[in-house]
Amino acid sequence: MAEQQNGVPRLMRVTAAVSWRVVAIAAALYVVGHVVGFLAPVVVPLAIALLLAALLAPAVSFLVRQRVPRGLAVALVIVGGLAVLGGLLAFVITTFVNGLPALRTQLSRSVETISDWLTNGPLHLSDDQLRRFLDNIVTSIAGNQGELTTGALNTALTIGELLAQALLVIFSLIFLLYDGPGIWNFLLHGVPNGYRTRVDVAGRRGLAALVSYVRATVAVATVDAVGIGIGLVALDVPLAFPLAALVFIGAFVPIVGAVVAGGAAVLIALVANGPVSALILLAVVIAVQQLEGHVLQPLLLGRAVKLHPLAVVLVISAGVVTAGITGALLAVPLLAVLNSGIRSLRSEADEHVDPEDVHTSEPEDSAPDEPGLDRHDDTPGPG
């Protein structure tokens, strides 16, 4: 009788209580997900601006310590960052344009070689069959001209949206670098007084983890670019340095970016140097990707953001499934911020930590060298 209440077994009552709570949490997450998805054109640029602020804030802090006015320091860092990015893109594009004539000549030779293999190789295709095959391709392109035109218009619209979001990223980045502490203090006013200090400390811990993540990502991108770049130079593939730069940029999008950039390098090696060189470079790209996916991403990023390697792999996979490239880009930093903040909230040691002394007082379950956040720290947020 003690196991039942009003005829309902205790196990069923506990299961029901847990179930409705799980359903309530799932419903709340579903609503939040839909709201975030609806506001993605605003949320995603803001998240990217926060990542960039975590990357550029050390330079701003350095200039401020050199007695440069903060507004001027922010302007110098943003202009310098845009100049470096623009110069890198200009170098890549210029080198590609200058190398196109040689690639065009080599492409013609490669097409002739492939045609000769199709006619004289094991397939023994006739000239009429090849001609009909090419005619079918031309006919298919002509028949789908309307769809191609619509796709081009959609691409133009997408480019317009991307430009608008890029402006939003820059605008948000300026204010995050210039007045990050003020923005954080404003947000803290929405927290009840009794919990404000704990939330302040937790926020500083979370942004410290974000800074660690950004720095580790730069290290991973550098390894990718150097590894594939060495393969390109060793195989004497044209446009080796621009391709290595593309690999570096693409590596900031986990999994997908470096794969796409490496695939472009393999295609150019195929056109310029033939199938043997392309296969060797493909092996190099696969080896570098395996190193990134199974060693660098789990261990380096996991250590930087205090996450288990399995958690890093699973959260990247979940991000790809739920939100594609954007989800892959933002999943790990989001988990890192949440993990560090929740650990701080649960830590008894952080109950008595002054927010201004976060960098010198660590929670019991934190690493001893975890960076803190304050007005003079290398992070853009709390202060």
**8 Å CB contact between 205 and 366:** yes
Mean pLDDT over residues 107-117, rounded? Answer: 64
Mean pLDDT over residues 94-111, rounded? Answer: 66
23 has a pLDDT exceeding 90: yes
Q: Residue 359 forms beta bridges with which residues? A: none
Find, among 121, 322, 335, 336, the residue nearest to 208 by Cα. 336
pLDDT at 45: 87
375 or 359: which leads in pLDDT: 359
The lowest-confidence range among 131-135, 176-180, 264-268 is 131-135
Sign of CA pseudo-dihedral 246, 251, 252, 256: positive
Query: By percentage, how much of the chain surpasses pLDDT 90?
Result: 4
54 has a pLDDT exceeding 80: yes
CA distances from 378 to 61, 180, 373 (A): 6, 11, 7
Find, among 217, 178, 199, 218, the residue nearest to 61 by Cα. 178
79 has a pLDDT exceeding 80: yes
318 or 170: which leads in pLDDT: 170
* The most confident of 137-146, 207-216, 255-264, 275-284, by mean pLDDT: 275-284
pLDDT tens per residue, range 223-273: 888 888 898 889 888 777 777 877 887 777 666 667 777 887 887 787 777
pLDDT at 103: 61
**Alpha-carbon span 264 to 271, nearest angstrom:** 11
* pLDDT band (50, 70, 90) for residue 158: low
Residue 67: how many CA atoms within 13 Å on its side-chain side? 0
134 has a pLDDT exceeding 70: no
Helices assigned H by DSSP within the chain? 10-38, 40-65, 70-120, 127-143, 145-188, 193-234, 240-250, 256-273, 275-291, 302-304, 309-346
Residue 185: how many CA atoms within 13 Å on its side-chain side? 9
pLDDT at 314: 80
Structure tokens at 245: 């730069």
The lowest-confidence range among 76-90, 178-192, 219-233, 350-364 is 350-364
**8 Å CB contact between 371 and 170:** no
179 has a pLDDT exceeding 60: yes
pLDDT tens per residue, range 297-341: 677 766 666 677 677 778 877 877 777 777 777 887 888 888 888
pLDDT at 127: 63
Q: Return mean pLDDT, the chain.
A: 75
Instruction: Spell out the domain ranges in the chain.
Output: 40-181, 193-354
Residue 50 makes CB contacts below 8 A (sequence gap 6+) with: 172, 176, 210, 380, 381
**Alpha-carbon span 198 to 210, nearest angstrom:** 19
Find, among 279, 262, 261, the residue nearest to 270 by Cα. 279
354 or 36: which leads in pLDDT: 36
User: Does the predicted TM-score (pTM) go above 0.95?
Assistant: no
Q: Quick check: helix, strand or coil at residue 5? A: strand
86 has a pLDDT exceeding 80: no
**8 Å CB contact between 54 and 377:** no
**Alpha-carbon span 265 to 96, nearest angstrom:** 12
Mean pLDDT over residues 160-170, rounded? Answer: 81
Mean pLDDT over residues 352-356, rounded? Answer: 64
377 has a pLDDT exceeding 50: no
* pLDDT band (50, 70, 90) for residue 27: very high
Structure tokens at 249: 């940029």
Mean pLDDT over residues 4-17, rounded? Answer: 78
**8 Å CB contact between 343 and 370:** no
69 has a pLDDT exceeding 60: yes
